[in-house]
Amino acid sequence: MYNQYTFKSMGAINRNMKDLGGLVEDINNAFTTGYKTKDISFHETLDGMKTYERRQFIDGVAKKTNRELDFSIEGKGFFEVEMPDGTNAYTRDGSFTVGPNGELLSSQGYPVVTGHPDAEFIAQSYDAATGEQSGSFDVGVHSSATFVPVGATVVLEEDGTLKTREGQTIGKLNVVTFTNEDALKDIGDSLYLAGKETGDIKEAEIGSFEGQTRIRQGYLESSNVSIVKNMSDIVQLNTAIKAEMKIIKVLDQMQENLTSTITRNI
């Protein structure tokens, strides 16, 4: 029984450490553009304890940068970037640059996917268990690499279309939403991958009406981490871990006393 209780306490400590890890990761990324808080919750179910992890896709504050290739999303949606292996990843980080060949790149250095009338774009997904590609979704938008003309000033239109000041169309930023964004797989660098569990991928309704997604030029979305809340949660977790350690100590002392009582009287 003592051992069983000790293992139970160790399990609780492990869970709290996992929670602590999430809070520390959040604090580390408090100043990362577009970073979303990780939320780990524990639930009592008939099948035992269940852990549920999700990113809190709540808007961070849009910070003005006045840089023409900085874009922030207000409302639902993700920018789409093409990974080196040809798959597509999704990000809220709209800090774009122009590559050596004039292509529009994300802050991670991956091409930003925009609409183009000539090439149909198919989004790919991975299998969470095997990591292999498991399917594709026709998102109903079109894509190809986006090139910014040399020396051009990029202007964003309300519907997400990028144009030069002279009126030449560069491309339309692909902003997509998911049926179940909680299931997006975090691969670091503020990038996420879609999977079967994310459900349908749809083009976001871009506009300035209420309920629509708005893209702003010259702004970047801050992380939505609340350092104060995280610090308070860390203090609470610290107390819980100490309490579990206390239980282990008490169990150990009890076992020691019991052993000494029995052996003394043999």
Query: For residue 64, what are its two tokens?
Result: 């003005």
Q: Which of 30, 65, 147, 199 binds other proteins (CB under 8 A)?
A: 199
Binding mask 90-109 for other proteins (x = CB under 8 A): --------------------
Sign of the alpha-carbon dihedral angle for 189, 222, 65, 165: positive
Query: For residue 265, what are its two tokens?
Result: 């009287």
Please tell me whether residue 198 binds other proteins under the rule CB under 8 A: yes
Please tell me whether residue 7 binds other proteins under the rule CB under 8 A: no
Of 12 and 83, which has the nearer Cβ to other proteins? 12
Comparing CA positions, the residue from 174, 131, 172, 175 lying closest to residue 154 is 172
Query: What are the φ and ψ backbone dihedral angles of 232, each rounded to 5 degrees?
Result: -65, -40
Query: For residue 73, what are its two tokens?
Result: 């999303």
Find residue 123's DSSP bridge partners: 137
Rg value, the chain, Cα: 25
Please tell me whether residue 3 binds other proteins under the rule CB under 8 A: no
CA-to-CA separations, 184 to 15, 71, 214, 216, 256, in angstroms, rounded: 22, 21, 21, 24, 49
Place of tokens 């789409």: 80
Please tell me whether residue 76 binds other proteins under the rule CB under 8 A: yes
Least distance to other proteins from the beta carbon of 266, Å?
Answer: 9
In what helix (H) or strand (E) does residue 104 lie, and over which residues does it extend?
strand 104-105
Place of tokens 């083009």: 203
Least distance to other proteins from the beta carbon of 118, Å?
Answer: 28
Please tell me whether residue 44 binds other proteins under the rule CB under 8 A: yes
Please tell me whether residue 208 binds other proteins under the rule CB under 8 A: no
Amino acid identity of 112? V
Please tell me whether residue 138 binds other proteins under the rule CB under 8 A: no
Q: Which of 179, 187, 232, 252 binds other proteins (CB under 8 A)?
A: 179
Please tell me whether residue 222 binds other proteins under the rule CB under 8 A: no
Amino acid identity of 115? G
CA-to-CA separations, 50 to 42, 89, 144, 231, 238, in angstroms, rounded: 6, 28, 42, 25, 21
Give the interface segment with other proteins, choosing from 82-90, 114-122, 140-148, 240-248 (CB under 8 A): 240-248
Comparing CA positions, the residue from 99, 82, 41 lying closest to residue 191 is 82
Binding mask 14-43 for other proteins (x = CB under 8 A): -xx--x-------------------x-xxx
Interface of this chain with other proteins, residues 45 to 74, rule: CB under 8 A: 45, 47, 49-50, 52, 54, 56, 58
Q: Which residues bind other proteins (CB under 8 A)?
A: 1, 5, 8-9, 11-12, 15-16, 19, 39, 41-45, 47, 49-50, 52, 54, 56, 58, 75-77, 177-180, 182-183, 196-200, 202, 204-205, 210-213, 236-237, 239-240, 243-244, 246-247, 250-251, 253-254, 257-258, 261, 264-265
